[in-house]
């Protein structure tokens, strides 16, 4: 290979085993074992879920900020969010404050869990003077329609006697009035984008409670109560605020936090990978390379629906650049990714590996696989 070969390495995290940056570094190391005359652009990616804050902070030379907030059950915890290098954009993952991972299995109860801590993170970001807030809303422990988040920002949810409702989704059926008079005024000066990769409406058979309630600890009876509460909340929101969010695709994300961010914070729901592509300037950074390498922990038929690898492939196809994906393992219908611009894909698994051994073995297997891909490229470009 005479000319300098240029590649962009833009993987997602290999969840539980490597961050996106660590994966990019391993792929780079594998390629450099086989191709000496090579230039590598490492571009850690995410799709709005885990790793989104790190990807944007890394790409913009930003920083992490820690604050004390409430977890889903009102206990004090330390949670972090990111701020871009220019100080204008905050990046928040709601799971940091309101995530299911913060609760033991026996503590899961969406009748009581609240998004209040997520609202506290938003308020903390506003105090830093940002003009743009990106919020990833995956992994929630909640089903409160975003009312907890809104409370932290000054909204009052009152019952028929004028008393504030308790936290959680269990009391939403008693909501009589929403008071927006004390809403954080700074909210009106910022643009809020919500990374949302599901299209569930707020209520019904495909709504927040029915689809996601059970994994958050809801029994069938609780699901029925939660669904009715969200329906009632939507009606009061429409009456008191004038926002009709009931059937908006994505309104049911994160237990209705999607709906709450639209209604109370004028949030715009967008596919998470599109937000990341824009914020890290992926198109500009990929221009001029000969090949793009992407990857994720598992690749299957669902990868084509807004996952990181599909977003990277879409941009590469626009630029006329071939794409190879290296993933941890393959699932059903993985071959569908060839239809969206991934020209070839490879699994790193060398043998059956126990889950507890993956954190140690996965990085080495990824580097080994990358080396073999590079050897093939060497053959083809001689």
pLDDT digits (tens, 9 = 90+) for 235-277: 999 999 999 999 999 999 999 999 999 999 999 999 999 999 9
For the chain, what is the mean pLDDT? Answer: 94
Q: What is the pLDDT of residue 62?
A: 96
H/E element, 344? strand 344-347
Diameter over CA atoms, the chain = 80
Q: What is the pLDDT of residues 20-43, one digit of tens each?
A: 999 999 999 999 999 989 999 999
Q: What is the pLDDT of residues 300-324, one digit of tens each?
A: 998 988 889 999 999 999 999 999 9
What residues contact 104, with CB distance under 8 A and at least 6 apart?
none
Q: What is the pLDDT of residue 10?
A: 97
What residues contact 307, with CB distance under 8 A and at least 6 apart?
12, 47, 273, 296
Q: What is the pLDDT of residue 1?
A: 59
Q: What mean pLDDT comes out for the span 148-153?
A: 98
Q: Determine the Cα–Cα distance for residues 2 and 344; give it in Å rounded to an integer.
A: 24
Q: Which of 342-348's residues contact partners 24+ apart within 8 Å by CB, and which partners?
A: 342/294, 342/309, 342/310, 342/313, 345/299, 346/372, 346/373, 347/299
Q: Which two tokens stand for residue 145?
A: 């329609």
Is residue 358 over pLDDT 90? no
Q: What is the pLDDT of residue 300?
A: 92
Q: What is the pLDDT of residue 354?
A: 79
Is residue 357 over pLDDT 90? no
- Among the residue ranges 46-60, 142-156, 165-179, the one predicted with the least confidence is 46-60
Q: What is the pLDDT of residue 44?
A: 94
What residues contact 320, with CB distance under 8 A and at least 6 apart?
none
* Nearest residue to 32 via CA among 307, 380, 367: 367
Q: What is the pLDDT of residues 96-118, one digit of tens each?
A: 999 999 999 999 999 999 999 99
Yes or no: say if 367 and 29 are a contact pair by the CB < 8 Å rule.
Answer: yes
Q: What is the pLDDT of residue 353?
A: 77
Is residue 16 over pLDDT 80? no
What residues contact 129, with CB distance under 8 A and at least 6 apart?
87
* Domains of the chain, CATH where assigned: 5-45+281-380 (3.40.50.10350), 52-273 (3.90.1510.10)
Residue 100 DSSP label: G
Residue 78's alpha-carbon distances to 64, 107, 257, in angstroms, are 12, 19, 21
Q: What is the pLDDT of residue 2?
A: 61
Q: What mean pLDDT comes out for the span 325-347?
A: 95
Is residue 342 over pLDDT 80? yes
Is residue 64 over pLDDT 70? yes
Is residue 340 over pLDDT 70? yes
Beta bridge partners, 70, equal 76
Is residue 230 over pLDDT 90? yes
Q: What mean pLDDT comes out for the span 69-74?
A: 98
Q: What is the pLDDT of residue 198?
A: 83
Is residue 50 over pLDDT 90? no
Beta strands in 84-213, from DSSP E residues, in sequence order: 89-93, 132-136, 156-158, 177-179, 191-195
Distance of CA 77 to the CA centre of its chain: 21
């Amino acid at each position: 290979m005479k000319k300098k070969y240029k590649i962009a390495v833009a993987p997602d995290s290999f969840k539980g085993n490597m961050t996106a940056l660590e994966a990019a570094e391993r792929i780079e190391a594998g390629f450099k074992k086989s191709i000496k005359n090579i230039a590598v652009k490492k571009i850690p990616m995410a799709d709005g879920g885990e790793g989104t804050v790190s990807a944007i902070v890394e790409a913009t030379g930003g920083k992490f900020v820690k604050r004390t907030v409430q977890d889903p059950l009102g206990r004090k915890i330390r949670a972090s969010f990111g701020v871009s290098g220019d100080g204008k954009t905050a990046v928040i993952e709601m799971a940091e404050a309101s995530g299911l991972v913060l609760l033991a299995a026996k503590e899961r109860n969406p009748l009581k869990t609240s998004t209040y801590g997520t609202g506290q993170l938003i308020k903390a970001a506003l105090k830093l003077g940002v003009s743009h807030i990106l919020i990833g809303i995956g992994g929630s422990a909640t089903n409160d329609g975003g009312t907890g988040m809104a409370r932290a920002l000054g909204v009052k949810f009152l019952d028929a006697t004028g008393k504030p409702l308790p936290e959680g989704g269990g009391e939403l059926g008693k909501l009589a009035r929403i008071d927006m008079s004390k809403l954080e005024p700074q909210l009106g000066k910022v643009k809020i984008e919500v990374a949302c990769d599901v299209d569930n409406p707020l209520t019904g058979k495909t709504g927040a409670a029915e689809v996601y309630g059970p994994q958050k600890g809801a029994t069938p009876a609780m699901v029925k109560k939660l669904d009715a509460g969200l329906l009632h909340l939507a009606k009061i929101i429409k009456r008191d605020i004038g926002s009709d969010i009931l059937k908006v695709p994505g309104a049911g994300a994160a237990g209705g936090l999607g709906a709450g961010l639209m209604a109370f914070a004028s949030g715009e729901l967008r596919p998470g990978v599109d937000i990341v592509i824009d914020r890290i300037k992926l198109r500009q950074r990929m221009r001029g390379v000969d090949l793009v390498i992407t990857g994720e922990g598992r690749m299957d038929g669902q990868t084509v629906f807004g996952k990181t690898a599909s977003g990277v492939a879409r941009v590469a196809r626009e630029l006329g650049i071939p794409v190879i994906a290296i993933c941890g393992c393959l699932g059903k219908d993985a071959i569908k990714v060839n239809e969206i611009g991934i020209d070839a894909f490879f699994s790193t698994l060398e043998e059956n590996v126990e889950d507890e051994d993956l954190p140690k073995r996965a990085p080495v297997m990824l580097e080994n696989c990358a080396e073999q891909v590079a050897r093939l490229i060497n053959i083809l470009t001689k």
